[in-house]
A = this chain, B = another copy of it.
Amino acid sequence: MRKVGTVEHGSDTSRRQRMAPEARRAAILDAAQTLFFARGWDAVTIADVIESAGISKGGFYHHFAAKEDLLDGVVDRFTREAVASAEAARATSSGDALVRLNAFLAGAIRWKAKQVPTTRFVLDALRRPGNDMLFHRIQAASAAAVRPVLEGMVADGIAEGRFDVPAADLVVEAILALSQGRRNVVEAAIRATEAGDLDGATATLDGRMAAEGAFMDRMLGLPPGSVALSNPEEYRRMLRASARREDIPRRARCPQAR
């Protein structure tokens, strides 16, 4: 038996409003996502989350069994968005396989651009130890979500006799890897933009995308210039938008500087 005494656990002043379960869950998830993106996985404590979400520790553990469930929730949200975007791009586009592929890729890039805050965070945090987990999970989940769509498009192109590939699954793997490797270029471009060199940043990013297009032409057995990823105006617009956002403030206290 524990010595609890006559403590009034739920005094009227401290008791919070009762919310619908899904709403409370979403609110906690929102708070957690913001904090994770600002500080990284292991720099965020349950105490931070419950303070930000306005709930007690016990209340938190009523909705989530463990801290890891927060990660799952955030990653799930990303995955769902990516899938929805990819499926939408696939559904709305018409024409032959190449046209649809171009539309899909453009849509995916545009979705990625909307994720610049996240990207920015990942760029900052990639080398910081505590964020490996969050980064890895998001990347793996996104790739897993996009892969089947890409596979379908490549298979369609082959079936239509439009694409000529020796190994379709390897092509998909390579395309996925390219989009992940693009991160470094985007990082450089964003930094250059913030440093004032919008022209140089645009050239860098557009050059990378043109090279990716040429590479995909080669992989899919298409004549050069078929996969059209070069789009300087759009990239300029994206970079300019990315430079305008504010950084999410970091935690004030820093327990050990190491």
A80 at the interface (CB under 8 A from B): no
A95 at the interface (CB under 8 A from B): no
* B-binding segment of A106-114, A164-172, A240-248: A164-172
Contact size range, A: 20 to 34
Contact status of A211 and B170, CB under 8 A, knowing A129-B68, A136-B135, A258-B66: yes
A47 at the interface (CB under 8 A from B): no
A interface majority secondary structure? helix
* B-binding segment of A10-18, A48-56, A154-162, A175-183: A175-183
> So how many copies of this chain end up in the complex?
2
Residue interface mask A185-227, B partner, CB < 8 A = 1: 0000000000000000000000000011011011100001000
Which residues of chain B have C-beta atoms less than 8 A from A24's C-beta?
none
A65 at the interface (CB under 8 A from B): yes
Expressed in whole angstroms, the Cα–Cα distance for A211 and B181 within the complex equals 22
Expressed in whole angstroms, the Cα–Cα distance for A167 and B170 within the complex equals 18
Neighbour of A219 across the interface among B65, B129, B173, B218, CB < 8 A: B218
Binding site for B on A (CB under 8 A): 65-66, 68, 71, 129, 132-133, 135-137, 166-167, 169-171, 173-174, 176-178, 180-181, 211-212, 214-215, 217-219, 224, 258
